[in-house]
Amino acid sequence: MASQEILFAGFGGQGILSMGKFLAYAGMDAGLNVSWLPSYGPEMRGGTANCSVILTEDPVGSPIVNEATTLVVMNRPSLDKFEEAIKANGLLIIDSDLVNRLPERNDIEVISIPAQSIAEEIGSKTIANMVLLGALVAKTGIVSMEDLLKALKEHGKEKFYEANKKALEKGAEFAA
C-alpha cells in the first residue's frame, strides 16, 4: 500500500477539516500511522481553510504536506494556491460547481465532480465534501469504504449518517 499525503482546501464552513478528520479516523482504524493538521484563517466561516492528512505504514516525520499525492479543492482560490503543491502523477479532485477553471498542469490526474449539485440532489449542499471524499477513497484505496463509514458512524453526527453515506457512494462512482 502506498502512503498518501493529502491536502484538502476550500472556504471555512465547507467541511474541509471534517473531511480530513474522518479520513484520519478511518486510517487509524485501518492500522495506519496518521497525521491531521488543520489550518484556517482568522475569518473561519467564509475564510480559507485547509488541512493536511498523511496516511502511511511508515512513521510520520512531519505533519506538514509540502508535496501532496492528492489535492481536494472546493473553491477556485484553493486551486490557485495549491495546484503547484501536487506531486507529478498526483491526483486532483475538484468540485466543478465551485471551481471555474481547469488546472494548468498536465502531469496530474484530474477528477472533476459537480459535488454541490450531487449533494443538493441527495438533500443538502453541506454534504458536498463527502461526495469528494468518496471519490478520493475509491480512487486511492488508501482506506476501505467500510473503514470510512465506520469512522463516520463513530465520530460524526448520527442524524447525518445516511445522507453522508449516500454522498460518499455517489462520489465513489466518479472515481471508477
**C-alpha cell of residue 170:** 455517489
Model confidence over 100-155: pLDDT tens digits?
Answer: 999 999 999 999 999 999 999 999 999 999 999 999 999 999 999 999 999 999 99
Reported pTM = 0.94
User: How many residues are recorded in the chain?
Assistant: 176
Q: Is the dihedral of CA 81, 23, 102, 46 positive or negative?
A: negative
Model confidence over 74-97: pLDDT tens digits?
Answer: 999 999 999 999 999 999 999 999
Nearest CA to 7 among 56, 62, 69, 59? 69
- Residue 48: the pLDDT is 79
Looking at residue 31, the DSSP 8-state letter turns out to be T
E strand or H helix that includes residue 55:
strand 48-56
The rounded distance, in Å, linking the Cα atoms of 77 and 160 is: 28
Asked if the 4-175 domain carries CATH number 3.40.190.10, the reply is no
E strand or H helix that includes residue 20:
helix 16-29
